[in-house]
């Protein structure tokens, strides 16, 4: 690229979506953030007229041509962009003329999608909420855990002192219920050790989860795989990732099995690369996105905001701990889990960094 070569490294490191148009309003360049926004590669769009790609407003086309003539920049607020074959989205964008060298000027379009800004704000709120809840839950769990050992020990001692073996039925109930509560408290407290990080192939993790679900489901649930096999290994605790993804996938299977009108229960596992992703207040050059999607009845919209809190479940038989534990594990890996749901589709999306953070 003639003019772009000198600043291409800078453009490609930006999280802002940048697009260049030539004097014929043809796509000349997209940086990786714009490829991500348009969900299309530069190779597919380069050289195509803007009107065939995303520019469907004649007045905007006239404004772009006017900027080539006069050099005056302009900004559009809350403009709807519809990339051919992709869902529409709303964005603010600014247009600036790059006139060096004069023989080959370009228009620089800088996109600031509104949904992304809202998503970042929501992500920050979720993280803050999660951390506050984690502190509160751990405090309560510790307070509950302390007397459980004493209750169990007293019940065992009482069982030895009872004159008749038949009376130990009652102490057995006490001991069994204390053990159940102990297990519940341990789950609330989360993994007892920090993640043991190593190079992990995310597809090996997903295949292990699939095998475990098949043991439970047999042939009653169909799996669809949509993997990007070029995704490099990430540094993570393999067993903890298996646990987190298994919790989500098992929830999906159980929701499908409890839906009496479900004709073809299907779970889709999907992996994709994401670039220049802000996660938990830090930007990462590369991240992996893992989708666990099912075609079940969906989650009650009233529960979506609180679905990751302990003891919150959309299923009658759920204990509400699986998603909370999964979110806690993913948070320890600097990642995040998000959920969107409607009747016929529930998707949990896990984003995990593949490379160290950068400024």
Residue 340 to residues 100, 103, 330, 353: CA-CA distances in angstroms? 45, 49, 17, 21
Residue-wise pLDDT tens digits, 16-56:
889 999 999 999 999 888 888 887 888 888 999 988 888 77
What pLDDT shows up at residue 3? 47
What pLDDT shows up at residue 1? 45
What pLDDT shows up at residue 168? 82
What pLDDT shows up at residue 16? 82
Do residues 119 and 15 touch, judged by C-beta distance below 8 A? no
What pLDDT shows up at residue 188? 66
Residues of the chain predicted below pLDDT 50: 1-4, 358-359
What pLDDT shows up at residue 87? 76
Residue-wise pLDDT tens digits, 73-90:
999 888 888 887 777 788
């Amino acid at each position: 690229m003639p003019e772009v070569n000198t600043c291409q490294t800078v453009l490609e490191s930006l999280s802002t979506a940048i697009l260049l148009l030539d004097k014929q309003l043809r796509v000349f360049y997209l940086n990786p953030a714009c490829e991500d926004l348009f969900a299309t590669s530069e190779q597919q769009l380069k050289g195509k007229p803007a009107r065939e790609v995303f520019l469907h407003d004649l007045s905007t086309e006239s404004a772009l041509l006017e900027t080539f003539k006069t050099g005056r920049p302009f900004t559009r607020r809350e403009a709807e962009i519809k990339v051919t074959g992709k869902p529409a989205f709303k964005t603010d964008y600014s247009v600036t003329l790059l006139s060096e060298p004069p023989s080959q000027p370009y228009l620089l379009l800088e996109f600031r999608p509104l949904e992304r800004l809202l998503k970042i704000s929501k992500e920050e709120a979720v993280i803050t909420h999660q951390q506050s809840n984690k502190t509160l839950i751990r405090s309560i769990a510790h307070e509950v855990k302390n007397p459980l050992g004493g209750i169990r020990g007293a019940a065992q001692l009482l069982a030895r002192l009872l004159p008749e073996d038949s009376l130990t039925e009652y102490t057995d109930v006490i001991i069994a219920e204390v053990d159940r509560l102990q297990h519940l408290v341990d789950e609330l407290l989360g993994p007892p050790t920090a993640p043991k990080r190593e190079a992990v192939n995310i597809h090996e993790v997903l295949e292990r989860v699939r095998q475990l679900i098949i043991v439970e489901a047999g042939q009653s649930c169909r799996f669809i795989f949509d993997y990007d096999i070029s995704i490099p290994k990430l540094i993570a605790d393999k067993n903890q990732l298996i646990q987190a993804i298994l919790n989500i996938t098992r929830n999906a299977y159980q929701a499908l099995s409890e839906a009496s009108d479900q004709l073809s229960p299907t779970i889709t596992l999907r992996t994709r690369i994401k670039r220049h992703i802000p996660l938990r207040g830090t930007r990462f050059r590369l991240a992996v996105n893992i989708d666990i999607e099912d075609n079940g009845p969906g989650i009650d919209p009233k529960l979506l905001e609180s679905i990751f809190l302990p003891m919150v479940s959309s299923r009658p038989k759920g204990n509400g701990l699986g998603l909370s534990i999964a979110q806690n594990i993913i948070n320890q890996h600097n990642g995040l889990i998000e959920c969107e749901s409607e009747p016929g589709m529930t998707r949990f999306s896990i984003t995990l960094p593949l490379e160290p953070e950068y400024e």
